[in-house]
Amino acid sequence: MRSSVFITRVLSIALLSMLPFLASAQGFEVAFGDVQQDPDTPVEVTADSLSVNQKDGSATFTGNVLIGQGEMRISAPVVDVFYNEDTSGISKLIARGGVTVVSGEDAAESDDAEYDLDNGMIRMSGNVLLTQGDNTVSSDNMVFDIDAGTAQMTGRVKTILRPEGN
């Protein structure tokens, strides 16, 4: 009897700790970033070197690349920047070689990432690891919707949830 009560309590705690995570038929949806992000905020890029291609309107930043937009940070060894032909503003960033995205207290890592500034979406692929406090979720892919503050994780999702107090 005591063991069934214990198991019920452990399961209740585990289920309560999962409330921030919403399962969906297409993957695993989680909240990402506690900071309201404005995709129209200027993008600041710092790197060890810059190469510009005038023909296709792109630029490649290499070496310790750090991108900041509002409270969000993206770091990677190499980032290709593509400009919008109409406005000459940045339309897309492609980061590769090990990418980290930090928004508020949340952080995500992956092999590669594409940030579509026009749509406010970041697509991370390859060995994605999302960390939120003591909880982690890994998957093959993650799409982060900046406006909604949510991330959709797909492809062999694995999560480690720790009950409060442990």
Structure tokens at 23: 């399962």
What confidence score (pLDDT) does residue 125 get?
97
Place of tokens 């959709």: 152
Q: Counting Cβ atoms within 10 Å, is residue 95 exposed (0-12), middle (13-18) or buried (19+)?
A: buried
Is residue 51 helix, strand or coil?
strand
What confidence score (pLDDT) does residue 41 get?
78
CATH architecture for segment(s) 2-160 = Sandwich (2.60)
Residue at 86: amino acid letter: D
Give the pLDDT means over successive 10-residue stretches in the chain (166 positions).
39 36 46 62 90 88 92 93 80 95 89 91 94 87 87 87 64
For the beta carbon of residue 42, count every other beta carbon within 10 angstroms.
10
Give the domain ranges of the chain. 2-160
Q: How many CA atoms lie within 13 A of 89 on its CB side?
A: 10
